[in-house]
Structure 1
Amino acid sequence: MDATAQQGHDAQTMRPARPRPLSLTEVARLAGAAAPARTVDVTGISLDSRQLRRGDLYAALPGARAHGAQFAPQAERAGAAAVLTDAEGVGLLERTGVDLPVVVAPDPRRSVGTIAARVYGSHPEDGTAPVLLAVTGTNGKTTTTYFTNSLLRALGRTTGLIGTIEILAGEQAIPSRLTTPEAPHVHALLALMRERGITAASMEVSSHALEFSRVDGVRFDVAGFTNLTQDHLDLHGSMEEYFSVKARLFTPGRTGRAVVVLQDEDDVWGARMAAHARAQLGADRVDTIALRGDVAEDRDAGPERHGADWTLTALTRRGIGHSFTLVHRDGRSLRVSTGLPGDFNVANAALAVVMVLASGTDVGQLQRVLDEQDPLTTDVPGRMQLIGTEPTAVVDFAHNPDALRRALAAVEPPEEQGRVIVVFGATGERDRTKRPIMGAVAARHADVVIVTDDDPHDEEPAGIREEVAAGARAADGARAEEVLVLAPRAVAIRAAVAMAGPGDSVLVAGRGHETVQEIRGVDHPLDDREELRAALADARQGRREDR
């Protein structure tokens, strides 16, 4: 089993010990389908025949490359009790000779979450379910969930986490393959957390998760919105559609409360999401946070200026991070600080604080843990992760134009004390329109731009690199003295370190915590943090030998 399959297998094995058997008649009802002539009880549900347990319902769904019904024989051999599929799947099942009861639904994917919720008991009505916090938006989801998790732990909660980097169910951690796992995994994990006495959990909810029904059947206590900038247009087609998918989270069936960040006075998407959430949930169940411009501007502005519930004021530097105050329109305030660099981490910290407050935490208790435990200075793997100093060397997940711009601003050395050198690329078989835009962003905000490979997938890497580099070379108002194209990625990282002086900053962007690079279906070991760490060590050794 390869690494990706093993990660998926590990996630699926995290199930509750006591599922609730569900009759196939009830499965059919939940799926809006006719009950089959043969009925059995199912004790689990799986979309992957390789991860299926005896007694499971096998959800044979259409996929990008194959229909799940093609793998029904493997599911039957693994002990599947029944199959849930669509009309196309029925035809495929008939050709395979599988002898299992079949529920035929018009859109089976839309019912998987609801079925999983029932069979795993992920949302019991006895009040034992963990408090659930969801974070969506283009950038900042991972860091915000780490912040909420850290805050909740500081408050004495036993916590869980479901996200891009890892899944935590108590002390057990496994790598995460998807930002949000498939619906059966999500419900199994939530039920497992309840069994283990976990009282609060944080989850990243991507637009893919909403589009592909991965959080169907989950109801969050609080959902937070970070921002909306260009990304994933290969899936959604337009920013308008991207917004509408994100907005599905802020509806009564999915969340009880909402917290929305307003990046500045021109943040159309934040303002629209706040208006949408108020219309859906009620104005008294939505909190907005005004950051005012580029966060640092107009520090004396009060909440009334923006019509926001909370306004960020008194922003000051604290080491490489910041301290600030959140002021509510009713006069309440919270003093907050984070040791993570960048104005975007100020926004992430503010969102986390208000989300935890909205989940039912007392403001005085929250202020005490903020003062005494510094919970918002927490390591987030691959997110503005400091690898070295002299030069400042940072790895970040920034993989779209807005995130790259913010990351470059965060590593800017003091005036006239050093250069910014950036190493990045673009993912293959994804939104091509952002490639030249990212190149232009890099050229405007860095002194040296090194374009390399990200995850090419099945696309020709040289072509991707050239699309990015062309944007850098053509950028208006470019700051970059050089635009280099270097591959493989490890060579590009070493070149950046070799040209960096002690006062410079090196940003390696785009892959963050990821440890493999996918090229034509093959996963190659590659960890930007390890490559950057090794390049810095070799550079230091070389300097010692030159003395």
Structure 2
Amino acid sequence: MTSPFDRIRPAATTARQVADLAVAFGLTIAPGQPADAAVTCVASDNRVIRPGDLFVALPGARAHGAQFAADAVGRGATAVLTDARGLEFAEGLGVPVLVADDPRAVLGSVAAWVLGNPADDLMTFGVTGTNGKTTTTYQLDHLLRALGWTGGLIGTVETRSGDRVIASTLTTPEAADLQALLAAMREDHVRTLAMEVSSHALAQHRVDGIVFGVAGFTNLTQDHLDFHGDFESYFATKAELFTPARARRGVVTIDDTWGERMAAEARIPVATLTTLPGKQADWTVTDVAPSGTGSAFTLTHRDGRTLRTSTSLPGAYNVANAALAVTMVLEGGCDVRDVSEALAAADGLSATVPGRMEVLATAPRVVVDFAHNTEALELALAALRPTTSGRLAVVFGATGDRDPGKRPFMGAAAVRGADVVYVTDDDPHDEDPAKVRAEVLAGASPDGAPGTVVTEAGGADSRTVEVHEVAPRADAVRAAILAAGVDDTVLVAGRGHETIQEIAGVDHVLDDRVEARAALAARTA
């Protein structure tokens, strides 16, 4: 097994002396170990070590990385960085051993130093928030390329270095992989970087060694509370991006109270953005006009600067994502006239985002989206409802071993927004899939069972919703599409671009888009 980022490393590197590294970061070279060596790159996974690498051995949940130091040295590592406990495993290998109190906390900065701080040679844009990070970074990359720059992209779906594309395994790569990737981008003459910055990445020091030129904030909703514990901790982690150690300037969408708070508590200069009528902000979205699957809109600064453009993706939340992308570029120093002309030439923000409101068919309309929490599901259904003349169906599930508190809320959101609901599996992981489905169904119907549900709106506003439980997931996708009328819309939500489903520790090939196309072919047959 190798890291996908092993294939994206700089071809040329400069040797750095271990003694200089120790001085630069206040590290101790373990006594009795060699002290004279040079390193050219950094890795924290022994399986991807190449000759000349510094192997950073981190403590793990099940094993200490230093237990693999001998293998790393055998693959060519010329030095090891670890903690006091790791020193027990790393001594006697014939290479210098550097010791840090918390090697993870210095990994990103050390990797950046060894590689000559590659982020400093890029115009960097980092996007955080619960929903919208992927779409916003794609729109950023689309606009920056339209302005004539060679772009880089790092996120949930894929990584791009100019014209090189590789699938991603993490929203934000591990620190050593990330710095090697940035150094490779520099060799590819990449000028700009649009990057998703997850809360896990901030908490785990993955983006250390980067000070973003512009940081952007989308929104904050319930997600990842299994990792952060509560909303306050989740918010505090996101807020780290808006500090001088992480970014020079920020753009914050203030359409929710968390955004308002983020703007108020940011420790760097921030520009505010809103899409809500009557709300005051530095940048305001007005005159939104749905057109086809997307919307045109006007973006205006309080000083009078203005431009009109469009997004090809449906829904008000995608207008917010598109506006954030444009605003970040403008706040990065680009002239509004240049941006307006580039957008006009590029037919607006028309980037295709894999698995994000991706339309696979039109009669019935079949859409695949990554919506995997309550608000994202609500927004996706609300975006599709106005353009659905028939019934709106949704296929979704909840992830096992992750934030169980959101499951009933997702079930309730599906019933509020759809006419037909198919509760199925997402990634069960090591949890019983039937138990996860039951917790979703508990929010979807009064008795927690499939059947017909009458919404609580009352009177003429009440609706009758069909609720089905269908597993495995491929069967649910097929059932929904085969049952749909030509005027109906089927939203397959939760997995988007993902192609692997994990069940009890076993990876199964499953791509919602492949299953949907197979069901559409069966309709034709």
Report the TM range for the smaller structure's normalisation: over 0.9
Supply the distance in 1 between the matched residues of 2:52 and 2:456 (Cα, whole angstroms).
63
Aligned to 1:410, which of 357, 361, 383?
383
The amino acid across from 1:530 in the alignment is: V
TM-aligned CA deviation for residue 28 of structure 1: 2.8
1:141 corresponds to: 133
TM-aligned CA deviation for residue 29 of structure 1: 3.6
Supply the distance in 1 between the matched residues of 2:180 and 2:432 (Cα, whole angstroms).
39
1:183 matched to 2:175? The reply is yes
1:16 matched to 2:10? The reply is yes
Would you say the 8 A contact 2:395–2:424 is kept in 1? yes
Aligned to 1:249, which of 238, 241, 247?
241
Between 59-68 and 241-250, the greater mean CA deviation after superposition: 59-68
TM-aligned CA deviation for residue 309 of structure 1: 0.2
1:260 matched to 2:244? The reply is no
Segments of 5+ residues of structure 2 without an aligned counterpart are 447-452, 458-462
Deviation readout 1:322-368 (Å, 9 max, x if unpaired)? 11111111111111211111111100000000011111111111111
1:360 matched to 2:333? The reply is yes
Distance 1:217-1:124 versus aligned 2 partners, 3 A rule: closer
1:319 corresponds to: 292
Deviation readout 1:484-527 (Å, 9 max, x if unpaired)? 11111100100101211111110011110011111122211111
Question: Normalized against structure 2, the TM-score is what?
Answer: 0.94
1:89 matched to 2:86? The reply is yes
1:427 matched to 2:399? The reply is yes
Would you say the 8 A contact 2:90–2:97 is kept in 1? no
- Secondary structure at 1:255 match in 2: coil
1:540 matched to 2:514? The reply is no
1:491 matched to 2:475? The reply is yes
Question: Normalized against structure 1, the TM-score is what?
Answer: 0.90
Distance 1:114-1:503 versus aligned 2 partners, 3 A rule: same
1:174 corresponds to: 166
Aligned to 1:516, which of 492, 500, 505?
500
TM-aligned CA deviation for residue 35 of structure 1: 2.7
Supply the distance in 1 between the matched residues of 2:515 and 2:387 (Cα, whole angstroms).
26
1:239 matched to 2:223? The reply is no
Identity of aligned residues (%): 56
Supply the distance in 1 between the matched residues of 2:119 and 2:497 (Cα, whole angstroms).
35
2:491 corresponds to: 507
Distance 1:399-1:77 versus aligned 2 partners, 3 A rule: same
Count of residues in Structure 1 that have an aligned counterpart in Structure 2: 510
1:119 corresponds to: 114
The amino acid across from 1:162 in the alignment is: I
1:130 corresponds to: 122
TM-aligned CA deviation for residue 18 of structure 1: 2.3
The amino acid across from 2:411 in the alignment is: G
Would you say the 8 A contact 1:401–1:441 is kept in 2? yes
Would you say the 8 A contact 1:443–1:480 is kept in 2? no
Would you say the 8 A contact 1:135–1:224 is kept in 2? yes
Between 253-262 and 475-484, the greater mean CA deviation after superposition: 475-484
Supply the distance in 2 between the matched residues of 1:124 and 1:366 (Cα, whole angstroms).
24
Supply the distance in 2 between the matched residues of 1:307 and 1:408 (Cα, whole angstroms).
28
Supply the distance in 1 between the matched residues of 2:387 and 2:401 (Cα, whole angstroms).
38
1:309 matched to 2:282? The reply is yes
Supply the distance in 1 between the matched residues of 2:75 and 2:393 (Cα, whole angstroms).
52
TM-aligned CA deviation for residue 189 of structure 1: 1.4
The amino acid across from 1:120 in the alignment is: L
Aligned to 1:272, which of 230, 248, 261?
261
1:33 matched to 2:30? The reply is no
Would you say the 8 A contact 1:44–1:55 is kept in 2? yes
Would you say the 8 A contact 2:66–2:89 is kept in 1? yes
Would you say the 8 A contact 2:360–2:513 is kept in 1? yes
TM-aligned CA deviation for residue 254 of structure 1: 1.3
Deviation readout 1:72-112 (Å, 9 max, x if unpaired)? 22212111112111122223446xx6443211211100100
1:43 matched to 2:40? The reply is yes
Deviation readout 1:195-243 (Å, 9 max, x if unpaired)? 2211111100000110111100111111100000000000000111000
1:76 matched to 2:73? The reply is yes
Would you say the 8 A contact 2:54–2:79 is kept in 1? yes
- Secondary structure at 1:361 match in 2: coil
- Secondary structure at 2:138 match in 1: helix
Supply the distance in 2 between the matched residues of 1:195 and 1:248 (Cα, whole angstroms).
30
Supply the distance in 2 between the matched residues of 1:288 and 1:538 (Cα, whole angstroms).
49
